[in-house]
Amino acid sequence: MRRTFLQLTVLLTLAFAAGCLSENKGKIEGTRWRSLAGTIQSQGAKLRVPDGFMELHFHTDGSLYYIVRGKIHTGKYSLGAGHSVTLHLDEVVAGMKTHTETVVIEGERLTMTDSDGTELSFRREN
CATH topology for the 22-124 domain: Lipocalin (2.40.128)
At 98 the pLDDT is: 97
Reported pTM: 0.81
> What is the CA angle 105-106-112, rounded to 5?
35
At 12 the pLDDT is: 43
At 28 the pLDDT is: 97
Low-confidence ranges of the chain (pLDDT < 50): 8, 10-19
The SS3 call for residue 53 is coil
At 16 the pLDDT is: 46
At 41 the pLDDT is: 83
Annotate 83-109 with b (16+ C-beta within 10 A) or e (fewer): bbbebebeeebeeeeebebbbbbeeee
Q: How many Cα atoms occupy the beta-carbon half-sphere of 2 within 13 Å?
A: 0
d(CA 79, CA 77): 7
